[in-house]
Structure 1
Amino acid sequence: MDLASLKTIDNKDLNRFELKLDDQLAYIEYKEGKSGDVYLIHTEVPEILEGKGVGHKLVRESLEIIENGNFRIIPLCPFVRSFIQNNKADYQHLLSERAKL
């Protein structure tokens, strides 16, 4: 598995950011609010991929997709919230004014 060569995609049909690794799929479920904010609801990483940086890559690339779309986030998922708290300097500007960490 060459994690560096893989890219997270926005699966708009299923409202989730996805990172496919061989036959495994890691994803973040989201919902777009009426105000244009993106609610990051739940992160799922298959157990076999845990501890290998997959979750961090998924969150980082999902936040890049959101930033490129000029959206703001409300992180409801504890994993995403923790990632942002640990990387505030890089991602705090993406938080909606209604978001709380």
Structure 2
Amino acid sequence: MKPEFENIPLVKAEKRFEIEFNGHYAFIDYRETMHQISLIHTEAEPELAGTGAAAAVVEKTLNFIEESEKKLLPFCPYVFAFIKKHPEWKRIVDERFEGYDKL
């Protein structure tokens, strides 16, 4: 994560995790059950393109999921690709996730 995002708090809203940077948002839509959090869609406002905001919200969200001791279902293609690039995060993916063996 780029240093400028390290101290920005992750906000868990009703249906999304989000960070605000310079008045703009990067967020991930999610669904949550007792034992799992499904990440559905990651997006950053156009003003944040190329800043690393999307990667920062993903990393902060993965940390949140790990700290909550829940399992991840990475349905979002961006999150899936992030985990492929950073395989240490596979540790929080639910082993029953259909694409688990492709991570």
Which interval holds the TM-score relative to the shorter structure? 0.7 to 0.9
Gap regions ≥5 residues in structure 2? none
Secondary structure of 2:55 counterpart: helix
Rounded Cα–Cα distance in structure 1 between residues aligned with 2:50 and 2:9 = 18
Q: What residue number does 2:76 align with?
A: 77
Amino acid at match of 1:9: V
Rounded Cα–Cα distance in structure 2 between residues aligned with 1:68 and 1:3 = 19
Instruction: Give the TM-score taking structure 2 as reference length.
Output: 0.85
User: What aligned pairs does 1:1-101 form with structure 2 within 5 A after superposition?
Assistant: 2-11=4-13, 14-33=14-33, 36-88=35-87, 90-99=88-97, 100=99, 101=102
Deviation digits for residues 21-66 of structure 1, max 9, x if unmatched?
13211110100136x2111001110111011111111100100000
Amino acid at match of 1:21: F
Rounded Cα–Cα distance in structure 2 between residues aligned with 1:9 and 1:48 = 19
Secondary structure of 1:5 counterpart: coil
Q: What RMSD in Å do the two structures reach over aligned CA positions?
A: 1.4
Q: How many corresponding residue pairs?
A: 96
Amino acid at match of 2:73: I
Rounded Cα–Cα distance in structure 2 between residues aligned with 1:22 and 1:53 = 13
Q: Structure 1 residue runs of 4+, over 3 Å off?
A: none
Instruction: Give the TM-score taking structure 1 as reference length.
Output: 0.86
Secondary structure of 2:31 counterpart: strand
Q: Percent identity?
A: 28
